[in-house]
Structure 1
Amino acid sequence: MDASADFDPWNPRFVADPYPGYARLRASGRVHWFAPSRQWLVPHDADVRALLRDRRLGRTYLHRFTHEEFGRTPPPAGHEPFHVLNGNGLLDLEAPDHTRIRRLVSQAFTPRTVEGLEPTVRRLARELVDGLVAEGGGDLIATVAEPLPVAVIAEMLGIPAADRGLLRPWSADICGMYELNPDEETARRAVRASEDFSAYLRDLIAHRRTRPADDLISALIAAHDAGDRLTEQEMVSTCVLLLNAGHEATVNTTGNGWWALFRHPGQLAALRADHRLLPTAVEELIRYDSPLQLFERWVLDDIEIGGTVIPRGAEVALLFGSAHHDPARFHDPGRLDITRSDNPHLGFGAGIHYCLGAPLARRELIAVFGELLRQAPGMRLVAEPEWKPGFVIRGLHELLVAC
C-alpha cells in the first residue's frame, strides 16, 4: 500500500507529532511503499531491530556494486565533495573498511577513556548552566545543549577552542543531506561545508604531523604513518563523522527531552524530587521523542517482510520513532515514564553501526540534565517551541526558558 496518507515528513504538523501516523502504519502492515522518496517504510520494532543486524542490507552498496549494476543513477558530479566526505566515514562504510576503521577509532571510546572525560564533561555542563542561570534564562538549546557536546568532541579531536564556532554550522549544513529528498540548495550548502571542513581538517592534520598532541587526530596520524591502515581522506571523514554524530543526538535529546518534561509536569516533579532517576529518565527521553526518527539501508540481496518481497536495489527506511512507540515491544509506549526499566530503545542504533559514542553521549546527557535540575530547580518554559523542518534528524529551533 502507498503510505502517503499516514507518513508526511515534509508537513510541519506531522513533524511536530508523527506518532498517530506511525500507529496507523503499524496497524495496516509490516512494510509500506512510500512513493515520494521511493523507499519501503518499516514501522514495527521487531522488523526494525532485525533489519539493523541483517547483512543482506547495507549503508552503502558500492563495496559490492557499481551505481549502474545496482540500478541507481550516480549522484551529480557537483555533489562529489559531500559524497567523498560522507562515503569514507564509518556511518556509510561496510566491511572490511568499516571493521578496520572502527577498530582504530574505538580505542578513543574505551570505558577508561570515557570515564577520564567525565570531569571535563561535568565542568563544561556546570559552566554552561551557570551562564544560563546568571542571565535568568534564555534559549536552552543555543546556550547549553549545543555548546556542550561540540566542546567535548572538539576537545577529543584536538580542535583549538578559537575554531570551535566553525563546527556547528558546518555540521548543520552537511546533515541537511541526510533528510529525505534534499533540494539543490541544501546540496549546495552541504558541498560548500564539506569542502571547507575538509580543508580545515587537512590543515590541522598537517600541523599535528609536525607537532603531535594528546588528542585523537594525532592518534589517527600515528596509525596512518605506521602503515596503510588509514588514508588521509578516512581521517578527515572520521573526524567529521565524530563531530556530527557526536553532538546531533545529544543536542536534540536535550531539547526534545526538556520539552517532553515540561508537557508532563508530574514526571518533571518526580525527577526534581529524586535526581537518582536521571539514568532511566535519559533513556526514556531518548525513546519517547527520538532525535533520530529514520535510518536508511540499501537492500543488497532480496529480502521478504510480511509476505512482501523487497528486491535488491531498493531502499528501506527504518522508522525508529515508530519502533519506539510500538506496543508490541514497549508497555504503554505513549506514556512518558522516567522510571521505565525495560527500555531497549534503538536511539544509538544496533548491529555493526551501533554508535561508538553512546557511553559518552549518556554521560553528557546525565551531566547537563543534572546541572539544570540542581542549578535551576524552578526552570520553566517561556514559549511553546517550534520544530525545525527536518524530520530524519528531529529537533527544536529553540527552547526558551526562565530560571
Structure 2
Amino acid sequence: MDVDPWSPAFVADPYPAYARLRARGRAHWFEPSGQFLVPRYADVSALLRDRRLGRTYLHRFTHEEFGRTPPPAAHEPFHVLNGNGMLDLEAPDHTRIRRLVSKAFTPRTVEKLAPVVARLAEELVDGLVEAGGGDLLTEVAEPLPVAVIAEMLGIPPADRGLLRPWSAAICAMFELNPDEETVRRAVAASVEFSAYLRELIARRRSAPGEDLVSALIAAHDEGDRLSEQEMISTCVLLLNAGHEATVNSTVNGWWTLFRHPEQLAALRAGEVALSTAVEELLRYDTPLQMFERWVLDDVEIGDLTIPRGSEVALLFGSANRDPARFDRPDELDLSRTDNPHISFGAGVHYCLGAPLARLELAASFGELLRRAPTMRLTAEPQWRPGYVIRGLRELRVEL
C-alpha cells in the first residue's frame, strides 16, 4: 500500500495514492497505525452518521473491555482536557454539551462578529500591503482566526500570543503515532492552557461580560449547566478546531490558486462568487485529511466486517476527490455548485464553527483579492510534516 503519512512526498500530494486506494476497495487494513482506512465518499459520509461508530468508547466500555491499553497517568492532563470536549464525546454527554454550547454560540453570535472579522482582516492585509509582501501564513492566515476566537472568548490582547503555541502543541497529538516529546509538550500545554482558562472563568463569574466565556457560564437548560472542566475543554476546542482549520484552509487555498492562474484571474475579475470559490477550495485540498472513529459494534463495509474494538480512519481528502460523487474531482472549478464536500464533517459531530470559518475565509480572501490584486508567490512552499492536519510551513508572497 503506497499510503505513507510519514513521507514528505505523500504529504505533499496524497491524491494519486487515494485514487489507487479507492480503486482497490472500500476499506483497507493499515498496519502502521492499526486502523482500517476508508477512502470512498459514500462510505465516509455514511459512517460519519453511523451510531455504531464513536469518537470515544468510554461511555460504554472500559479500556480493558474494549481491548485497549489505558493511557499512562502522566498523559492525564491532555486526556482530561480533550475528553471533555464535544468532539470526543458521544451521547448523552455530547448531546447535552452541544445543546448548552449552542445556546452561547448562536448564528446571531457569529453574525455580530462579522464587523470584527472584517476589521481584523482589513488591518492584517493593510500590514502585508504596506510591507510589500511577506509570509501570508504568519502575517494574515494565522493571526486572523486566533484574534477572532480571542475576541469571542474575551481574552485580553496582551495574552493572545500564548494561544497559538498552546494550540499547536495540543493539536500535534492528533497526528498518527505521536512520539514522547510531542506528548510531553501537549501535556504541558494542556496544564498551562487549563490553568489560564480557569482563572479567566473565575473572573467572568464575578464580573460577567459580553464574551463567550460569560455566555457559557450563563448557559443552562432545565437546570443543567456546563461544569468548569466542560467550559475549559469547550474553549480549547473552539480555539484548536476553529483556527487550525482556518489557517490551513487559507494558505492551502492560496497555494492552490497560485497553481491555477486562470481560475485566480476569474476570481479576481469577479466572474466567480467568492462564497462558491471558498467551498471549492475547501473540497479540493481540505486541511483535515483524516477523521478517526472507534467501532462500538461490528460494522460492515462491503464484504468486510470490521469488529468492535477496531479503529477506522475516514479519509476526508480522498472522499472529497471521489469521482463517484464529484464530476472531474481532480480539477479545480471555482464555480462548482454541486459541492457537498465533507471538510466540516457530518452527523452529530458536524463542525459547530463552520459558519464562523466561512465568515473568516470570505473576509481574508475577499480583502486580499481587493487590496492585493497583484499578489504572487516568491518561493515554492514546503509542507509541514503533519498529515492528519495538513498545512504549509509558510507561503511567501510579494505585491
Distance in 1 of aligned mates of 2:100 and 2:212: 10
**Counterparts in 2 of 1:80 and 1:262: CA distance versus 1, 3 Å:** same
| 1:376 aligns to 2:369 (yes or no) | no
| 1:77 aligns to 2:73 (yes or no) | yes
Instruction: Select 2:351's aligned residue among 350, 355, 373.
Output: 355
Distance in 1 of aligned mates of 2:173 and 2:186: 7
Structure 2 partner of 1:292: 288
1:225 deviates by 12
Structure 2 partner of 1:254: 250
**1:264-290 deviation digits (Å, cap 9, x = unpaired):** 101001101117521111000000011
Structure 2 partner of 1:184: 180
CA contact (8 A) 1:145 1:254 kept: yes
**Counterparts in 2 of 1:24 and 1:235: CA distance versus 1, 3 Å:** same
Structure 1 partner of 2:149: 153
| 1:134 aligns to 2:160 (yes or no) | no
1:340 deviates by 0.4
CA contact (8 A) 1:45 1:323 kept: yes
Structure 1 partner of 2:397: 401
| 1:196 aligns to 2:196 (yes or no) | no
1:319-398 equivalences under 5 Å are 319-398=315-394
Structure 1 partner of 2:5: 9
One-letter amino acid of the structure 1 residue matched with residue 263 of structure 2? Q
Report percent identity of matched pairs. Answer: 78
Instruction: Select 1:41's aligned residue among 37, 50, 64.
Output: 37
Distance in 2 of aligned mates of 1:224 and 1:177: 32
Structure 1 partner of 2:209: 213
Distance in 2 of aligned mates of 1:70 and 1:119: 48
Structure 1 partner of 2:234: 238
Structure 2 partner of 1:95: 91
Distance in 2 of aligned mates of 1:158 and 1:121: 15
**1:306-328 deviation digits (Å, cap 9, x = unpaired):** 10110000000000000011000
**1:349-372 deviation digits (Å, cap 9, x = unpaired):** 100000011011101101100000
Distance in 2 of aligned mates of 1:215 and 1:109: 10
Q: What SS class does the counterpart of residue 86 from structure 1 fall into?
A: helix
1:110 deviates by 2.4
1:108 deviates by 3.2
Choose 271-280 or 298-307, whichever is displaced more. 271-280
**1:169-214 deviation digits (Å, cap 9, x = unpaired):** 0000000000011111110000000000000000111111111111
CA contact (8 A) 2:100 2:220 kept: no
1:116 deviates by 1.3
**Superposed CA RMSD:** 1.2
Q: What SS class does the counterpart of residue 392 from structure 1 fall into?
A: coil
Structure 2 partner of 1:223: 219
Q: What SS class does the counterpart of residue 297 from structure 1 fall into?
A: strand
Distance in 2 of aligned mates of 1:275 and 1:169: 39
CA contact (8 A) 1:6 1:22 kept: no
Q: What SS class does the counterpart of residue 33 from structure 2 fall into?
A: coil
**1:225-278 deviation digits (Å, cap 9, x = unpaired):** 994421111110010001101111110000000000000101001101117521
Q: TM-score, normalised by structure 1?
A: 0.97
Give ranges in structure 2 of 5+ residues lacking alignment: none
1:6 deviates by 1.9
Q: TM-score, normalised by structure 2?
A: 0.98
1:113 deviates by 2.0
Distance in 2 of aligned mates of 1:216 and 1:363: 18
CA contact (8 A) 1:255 1:395 kept: yes
Instruction: Select 2:273's aligned residue among 269, 273, 277.
Output: 277
One-letter amino acid of the structure 1 residue matched with residue 75 of structure 2? H
One-letter amino acid of the structure 1 residue matched with residue 103 of structure 2? Q
1:95 deviates by 0.7
CA contact (8 A) 1:43 1:323 kept: yes
Q: What SS class does the counterpart of residue 68 from structure 2 fall into?
A: coil
CA contact (8 A) 2:375 2:397 kept: yes
